[in-house]
Amino acid sequence: MNILIVEDEDRIASFIRRGLEGEGFTTRVEADGRAGLDAALTGAFDLVVLDLALPELSGEEVLAGIREREPALPVIVLSAKDAISDRVSNLQAGADDYLVKPFSFAELLARIQARLRSAEPVRRTTLRAGAMEVDAEAAVALVEGREVELSRHDVGILEALIAARGHAIPAGALQRRVWGAEPSGDPSVVDAYVDALSRRLGDGVIEAVGDGYRIA
């Protein structure tokens, strides 16, 4: 995998380059927006890491140029700005992800790997139950317009309960479904987990029934 790094600060560019090369990626660094955009449009790269404050062309201009000519090329934007409005406007302008400086290399690597995975065709799964919508891919539930972030286990629990269409699933069966074939440990761990999830989703979404749970 070939990654283009567009960053004018030597220290940050070489921190990213060394880290990525250590992970087996090939990289190229461009230190201004014009050279960065030209490189991005060569078709030689699988992903672009793009700083916003750049000489020649701004990161926003580079992003716009990439989106015009290479709409599918994943772009992860780096910026010192951390206002939510900046994040939103960058994502709307076509960045696939956004990282605020200072960031750890592990965090950048995780975002890059996630982007490279999702650049392949993925099944997009939105599940609905009553007033709740679950985006399994993004691990977010929307309950009456309110966003609730979900863990991988939360998503598994909701997938199982929604698939059961209002029928109760015993805690032990839920544990096998979500945590694997062998129920390890005490089912009360599942109870505690579902209870915490249920409280975050709000009243009346998950109902406890006997020794199990169902979607209300």
Region 83-142 residues binding Ca ion, contact defined as CB under 5 A: none
Among 206, 107, 105, which residue's Cα sits nearest to residue 157? 206
User: Residues near 91 by Cβ (< 8 Å), separated by ≥ 6?
Assistant: 97, 98
Q: By C-beta, is 56 or 191 nearer to Ca ion?
A: 56
User: Residues near 42 by Cβ (< 8 Å), separated by ≥ 6?
Assistant: none
- Answer yes or no: are the C-beta atoms of 105 and 16 closer than 8 Å: yes
- Answer yes or no: are the C-beta atoms of 206 and 164 closer than 8 Å: no
For residue 74, cis peptide bond before it (omega within 30 degrees of 0): no
- Answer yes or no: are the C-beta atoms of 207 and 214 closer than 8 Å: yes
Stretch that binds Ca ion, among 8-16, 62-70, 99-107, 110-118 (CB under 5 A): 8-16
Q: By C-beta, is 36 or 74 nearer to Ca ion?
A: 36
Q: How far is the CB of 67 from Ca ion (least distance, A)?
A: 20
Q: By C-beta, is 39 or 134 nearer to Ca ion?
A: 39
Q: By C-beta, is 8 or 96 nearer to Ca ion?
A: 8
Stretch that binds Ca ion, among 2-10, 77-85, 109-117, 185-193 (CB under 5 A): 2-10
Q: How far is the CB of 62 from Ca ion (least distance, A)?
A: 12
Handedness of CA 92, 53, 56, 27 (dihedral sign): negative
Q: How far is the CB of 30 from Ca ion (least distance, A)?
A: 12
Q: By C-beta, is 33 or 212 nearer to Ca ion?
A: 33
Quick check: 8 binds Ca ion (CB under 5 A)?
yes
Region 35-54 residues binding Ca ion, contact defined as CB under 5 A: 51, 53
Q: By C-beta, is 53 or 173 nearer to Ca ion?
A: 53
* Amino acid in position 16: I
The binding track of 168-197 with respect to Ca ion, each residue x by CB under 5 A or -, is ------------------------------
101: which DSSP letter? S
Record the tokens describing residue 113, joined without a space.
């790997």
Judged by the rule CB under 5 A, the positions of this chain that interact with Ca ion are: 8, 51, 53
